[in-house]
Structure 1
Amino acid sequence: MNGEDQIQKAYEAILGHDFELAIEWFEKAIAAEPDNAAYHYKLSITFARSNKLVQAIEHAKKALELEAGNEGYRYHLQVLHARELVDHAQKELSTKSEHAERAIFLLKEAIVLDPLAIEAYLILGEVFALRNDYARAYQTILEAIRLEPNHELAKQQAARYKRKLKS
């Protein structure tokens, strides 16, 4: 079986919502054609969807290494790095509240890497609110709403921060 046949099997597994099996088929395709950047990229996407961020980043890096000029691969890696920063920020916040400055820095970096990272805006807004900086919290959440106007949590947060600003 060649790499393309294995990729087809991976897609069939994805359609059946069996992401672990899809990962196995993508890995077999890579074993057959280790220098195929597209295979690494596809595996990276599947790892990311399975919340296996370390492996997703590893294969995204490999895809970009194999095809350095591919802007799609570069953007995908940036988005993964943004998710990684958001995860780190959440860990900082869960350990000690005095790590808020570090979390703010990480979340802002995540937004630079992926300006569409709604989760980063939501958490950043919450961090500002925890510091009683409702003006910045409100502005941050308004940016999230601008990006995703029907996001219910963002709308709820915005309303809460707006009330806090008025009181």
Structure 2
Amino acid sequence: MSNYFERARLLFEQRRFDLAVRELQQGLAIEPDNASYHRLLALCFSQQNKPNDAIAEIDHAISLDPNHGGGHYIKAGILRDQGNLKAARSTIAEALRLDPEDTDSYSRLAAIQFDQKQVKESLATAETGLQINPEHLGCMNLRVLSLTELGQLPKAESEVLVALAIAPENPFAHAVHGWISFRQNRISAALDSFKTALRLKPDLEWARQGLVESLKARNGIYRFILGVDRFRVGMFKGPRLLLLAIPQIRALYWLMYLMVVATRPFFTVLLSFDSYGRLTLTPTEIKKSRWVAGIILFVIFMFLLPILASSR
């Protein structure tokens, strides 16, 4: 492999994507049909939020070397980032067909299944990967995530601690630990884990969302609302779904749903006035939450207006 590729790979690891792209383009001027260049260039474009360029590059890489599982693995990741989970799943299936022993591909498939809310399938896929490599962090994290979603919190926590012992600087493991602590209402521990994850990987959106939720959950009322939401979600699983046919229970369900929908943006507004909390929010979140909170206040005002008028 040429010096262009080695320099580009180092720059990619340093997250200096513009410079990495420049090196790769110089290398491609000499070796235009080098699939490795195109694969790494696709990753650079993906990190630069250029999905169309990323797909074009990885498709070209696959056309040059269709039997290289890595190309399909990278394409599946790009498609997943775009939210095209169906295409991502078929693409990662091709990567596994080409290399059935690749634990990275099992980890990516488990992540896609988790995104598709197929938690049990995600758990099974992660466990398959761990049979090949018992210390694969991606599969370990997906197994823990699935266990958490299935409500097996003590088991999930014990396993994420094993992952952190293997790789104490892994931001994803810290983020997973944060969500487990959050689900257990250990808010202080969750905050510490999310902050550590973001220190290690500042652009880890999943950890940022956890930090936002944990900051809001410092308020007891918000913790109560979270409990209501968890109860609502767990009310009707399996045969219990038939209970929605009962009008009173259906009304209770929707009352809890509206309570959660109305309260969450309101607490986001409160967080935006906190000196630290506002730094964790995106401009879109702040704008949206204030818009929703304004509607809520308007509805409350219109409800109280007749009462105030009649009291005169």
The interval holding the TM-score normalised by the smaller chain is 0.5 to 0.7
The equivalent position to 1:6 in structure 2, one of 35, 38, 62, is 38
The one-letter amino acid of 1:60's match is I
> Where in structure 1 do 4 or more consecutive aligned residues deviate above 4 Å?
143-146, 161-165
The one-letter amino acid of 2:213's match is L
Whole-angstrom CA distance in 1 between matches of 2:36 and 2:121 = 34
> Could you say which residue in structure 2 is the equivalent of 1:116?
145
> Could you say which residue in structure 2 is the equivalent of 1:160?
225
Aligned residues between the structures: 127
> TM-score, normalised to structure 2's length?
0.34
Contact between 1:142 and 1:158, CA under 8 Å: does it hold in 2?
A: no
> Could you say which residue in structure 2 is the equivalent of 1:91?
none
Whole-angstrom CA distance in 1 between matches of 2:182 and 2:121 = 15
Kindly indicate whether residue 68 of structure 2 is the aligned counterpart of residue 36 of structure 1: yes
Whole-angstrom CA distance in 2 between matches of 1:2 and 1:163 = 55
Whole-angstrom CA distance in 1 between matches of 2:83 and 2:96 = 20
What displacement does 1:79 show? 1.4
The one-letter amino acid of 2:69's match is A
Same amino acid, percent of matched pairs:
14
Q: 1:52-108: per-residue Cα shift (whole Å, max 9, x none)?
A: 111111111111111101112112111111211x2xxxxxxxxxxxxxxxxxxx5x5
> TM-score, normalised to structure 1's length?
0.59
Identify the structure with bigger relative contact order (alpha carbons < 8 Å, sequence gap 6+). Answer: 1
What displacement does 1:161 show? 4.5
Kindly indicate whether residue 79 of structure 2 is the aligned counterpart of residue 47 of structure 1: yes
Larger radius of gyration: 2
The one-letter amino acid of 1:160's match is I
Whole-angstrom CA distance in 2 between matches of 1:44 and 1:57 = 7
The one-letter amino acid of 2:120's match is E
> Could you say which residue in structure 2 is the equivalent of 1:75?
107
Query: Any gaps of 5 or more consecutive residues in structure 1?
Result: 87-105, 122-138
> Could you say which residue in structure 2 is the equivalent of 1:149?
190
SS in structure 2 of the partner of residue 13 of structure 1: helix
> Could you say which residue in structure 1 is the equivalent of 2:97?
65
1:84-99, aligned counterparts within 5 Å?
A: 84=116, 86=117
What displacement does 1:12 show? 3.6
Q: 1:135-160: per-residue Cα shift (whole Å, max 9, x none)?
A: xxxx99625968x8132336636443
Kindly indicate whether residue 56 of structure 2 is the aligned counterpart of residue 56 of structure 1: no
Whole-angstrom CA distance in 2 between matches of 1:109 and 1:140 = 21
What displacement does 1:111 show? 6.9
The equivalent position to 1:17 in structure 2, one of 25, 42, 49, is 49
What displacement does 1:5 show? 2.4
Q: 1:63 to 1:163 in 2, by over 3 A?
A: closer
Q: 1:111 to 1:77 in 2, by over 3 A?
A: closer
What RMSD, in angstroms, separates the aligned Cα atoms of the two structures?
3.8
Query: Any gaps of 5 or more consecutive residues in structure 2?
Result: 1-32, 125-141, 151-179, 192-209, 232-312
Whole-angstrom CA distance in 1 between matches of 2:115 and 2:106 = 14
